[in-house]
Structure 1
C-alpha cells in the first residue's frame, strides 16, 4: 500500500491533481506564510468546495469521509491546505447544526451558488467578543483569536457572548461586513498559511436572520457533532502529514542519502538499521490510516442519522474518533521527527523543507491535549460510559 487514493473516484482524481499542483511550491509558501490565493483559486475551479452540500441545494451530497480523505491528500504536501479545506466544511454545516432547517437550506443554496470558501471566528475559549442587542439584531465589539481561514474566506461562521447575560450566540456573515478587520497576523511555527490569527470587530452589525436559532439548554445529540468534524479534520491532517513525510523521506533516502561510514554497505537503503526504521514508520502510519478510515466512517454514520441521532450512537462515534485522533497525532509526531535520522544530516536544510511536516503536526497536535482524549477512551473501556458532549469531545 502506498497511501494512494482511488482515482476512479472523480473527486479523488481531482484531489490528486491538486495535490501535485500544491506540491510544486509548498516549501516556498511555507516559508512565506500569508495567503494561498492561487491554491484557493484552483480549489474553487475544481468544484470541491461544494461536495458536502446536499444535492437538493446545489452540492454533490458526498459524505464527510470524502472531504476528510481529500484533506488528507492535500496534507501530504501542505498541512495548511488540508486544515483549511476541512475546516471550511465544518463552517458550511454550522447552520444545519445550530440553525433552523430554513436557515440551513438558505446557507447551503447561497454557498453552493456563490462557490463560497468559509472561515470561522468562533473560538471556544476566548471570551473577547461581545454583542449587545440593537433593534432586531446585534452589534459586536471585540476580537477573536485563532480564526482559521478568515484571511481568504468569503463567509464566516462567528460566535460571541452577550455582554449582559454572557449567553453565546452563533451566526454567519460575509467577510465584507463593515467594521470587520481581519488582521492576518498568524505567526505560528507551523500551519503558516491557515491565517489562524486575530479578527477584530468594531460595531459590526449582525442581522436577526443571520443569527442561528441555537439554545444551549435545548441541545439535541446531532447538534453536538461540531467537535467530531473538527477532530476528524485534525486527525486526517496528522495522517496526511505522516504519509507525505514518509514518502518524501523515502525518495530522499533512495536518491541522495549516503551510507554511514561504519555501516559496511555501499547503499544507504541496504543498511539493516534503515530498513528497520522505515518498516516501523510505515507500519505505524498504515495503522493510523486504517484508524482514520474507521473514524471517518463513524462520522459518516452519525451524520447520516441527522436529527434522529441518539446519545448512544453519538457516544460510540466519539470513542472511535478520539482513539484515531490520539494515535494519529503521536504517529505523525514520531514519523516527522525520525525521518531525519534515516535521511542523514544533509536532509536538515531549509532548502529541502522537510521540517515543515514536523512543525505543522507539532502545532496542530496542540489544538487539544491528547491526554484527555486517551483518558476518555480508557474510561469508556473500563466502564462503558461514553464521554459527555463538550467542546473537544
Structure 2
C-alpha cells in the first residue's frame, strides 16, 4: 500500500488493519503503574514477532503507530480528566524502554511522542498546557517534532493574529506519520524562540522521505521543509498574545529548560531497551544455535558450557543490571522535580538553577553509562553467538545498528566533560539544547 502524504508523495507502509484485533483487546486503559508496564510488555511481544523483517522492509511505520494508539501507551502521561493514564515520567521511561527491547524504532517513536506531547506542560502557560492535553488525548493524536537545533532555526514572521514558520530541518522524527508536529523557530528581528503545534497534514509541511540510515529505520526521521505554516499567536507557547512577547513568568525560569534533561533520559532508556533486547535475543540464539569451539584444548560439548561464553554473558548481565538501576534512579529524580514544581506559575518559579543542574547530571551519568554499555553489549554479543549470527536473516545486527545510529545524536564526550567539571569543580551545566 502507499501513504498519501501532505505534499502528494507516496511511500509504502503496512496496512494498519494487521493490528485491528488489538483495538478491542486493549479498549480499556491500564489503571496502575504495574498494568501500564504489562501493557508495554504486550506491545513489545507483538512487535517482536516480525521486528527483524520489518527492519529489512523499511516501510513507513503507520501500522505500528496505529498499534501504539490501540495500546493506549501514547496517553500514559496525560491527565485522567481527558482520558490519560496520569502516570509519572518514570513509568513513561519504562514503557519506552520495554517497547524498545523488541523494536528500537517504535520505542523511539513512543519516547519522542511522550516528550513532544507534554511540551506545553513545560514551556507553555497552564491554559495552553491544559488545552493541548485535551486536544491530544481526546483525539489519541501521535505527535512528531521538527526541532533539530543543529540546523538553522526556522524563521518566524508575524502576520496579523498569527505567526508564520518557514525553513528546513534535516531531521524530523516521526513527522510523516504524525497528527500534529511541534515547530520551533526564532521570531524575525529578535533572538526569541517560539514553540508551537501545527497540524501535520497541510500543504506547507513537505517531507522529503529521505530517511534510509543504517539503524532506527522505521522512525521516519528524514528531512522536512516548512513553507508558510501559520499558527495563531494564542498557540505560541509561553508567549503573551496581546503583547507578542515571551512571558518571563513562563519562559524566564529554570523550569522552562526541563525539556532537555527529560528527552535526554528518553534517549538513555531507548539505548537501555535496545541493549536488553539484544542480550535476550543473543542468549536465546546461543542456547539454541551456537556451537562450542572444538580447538581450545578444554573442549566442551555445548556452547553454554564454554567458560568464555559464560563469562561474557555474565559480565554483560551485571553491567546491564547496574545500568537499569541507574536509569530507574534518574527517572525517580525526574519524577521528584515534576512532582514538586509542576502546576501554577508560582510553583514552577520555585525550581532553582542548581536543582535543575543536579537533575541534568543524573541524566548525563545515565547517558554515559547506557551509551558505553549499549555499544559494548550490542557489538560484543557476536563474540558469543558466532559467525552465523551475522546473517541478516538472524536479525541480531539490528540492535547494534539502532544504538550506533542514535548514540551519535550528540557526542557523549561532552557529557563526560560535563560530569568531570561537576566532580572536580562542583559546577552544574548551563542549560543548552543538549543539556
TM-score, with normalisation over the residues of structure 2? 0.86
Task: Say whether residues 1:247 and 2:280 are aligned partners.
Answer: yes
Task: Say whether residues 1:288 and 2:323 are aligned partners.
Answer: yes
User: Could you tell me how far apart the structure 1 residues matched to 2:292 and 2:201 are?
Assistant: 57
Task: Say whether residues 1:34 and 2:34 are aligned partners.
Answer: no
Contact map agreement 1:144 1:198 (CA 8 A) in 2: yes
Change (3 A) 1:285 1:216: farther
TM-superposed CA distance for 1:8, in Å, is: 8.1
Counterpart in 2 of 1:276? 311
Counterpart in 1 of 2:400? 358
List aligned pairs for 1:1-393, cutoff 5 A.
9-127=34-152, 129-214=154-239, 215=246, 218-263=251-296, 264-305=299-340, 306=342, 307=348, 308-393=350-435
User: Could you tell me how far apart the structure 1 residues matched to 2:267 and 2:395 are?
Assistant: 21
TM-score, with normalisation over the residues of structure 1? 0.95
Contact map agreement 2:215 2:401 (CA 8 A) in 1: yes
TM-superposed CA distance for 1:321, in Å, is: 0.8
SS in 2 for 1:76: helix
Ranges in structure 1 where 5+ consecutive residues have no aligned partner: 1-6
User: Could you tell me how far apart the structure 1 residues matched to 2:353 and 2:186 are?
Assistant: 27
Ranges in structure 2 where 5+ consecutive residues have no aligned partner: 1-31, 240-245, 343-347
TM-superposed CA distance for 1:197, in Å, is: 0.8
TM-superposed CA distance for 1:216, in Å, is: 9.0
SS in 2 for 1:9: helix
Contact map agreement 1:34 1:184 (CA 8 A) in 2: no
Instruction: Write out per-residue CA displacement over residues 71-118 of structure 1, whole angstroms, 9 at most, x where no aligned residue.
Output: 111111211111111110111111122211111100001111001111
Change (3 A) 1:38 1:126: same
User: Could you tell me how far apart the structure 1 residues matched to 2:33 and 2:201 are?
Assistant: 39
The size of the alignment, in residue pairs, is: 387
Change (3 A) 1:315 1:140: closer
SS in 1 for 2:102: coil
User: Could you tell me how far apart the structure 2 residues matched to 1:317 and 1:164 are?
Assistant: 34
TM-superposed CA distance for 1:260, in Å, is: 1.0
TM-superposed CA distance for 1:229, in Å, is: 1.6
Contact map agreement 1:173 1:210 (CA 8 A) in 2: no
Instruction: Write out per-residue CA displacement over residues 295-345 of structure 1, whole angstroms, 9 at most, x where no aligned residue.
Output: 111111112122132222212211111001111011000000010011001
Change (3 A) 1:372 1:90: same
SS in 2 for 1:91: helix
Deviates more, 1:348-357 or 1:200-209: 200-209
TM-superposed CA distance for 1:165, in Å, is: 3.1
Deviates more, 1:208-217 or 1:95-104: 208-217
Deviates more, 1:298-307 or 1:124-133: 124-133
Deviates more, 1:315-324 or 1:214-223: 214-223
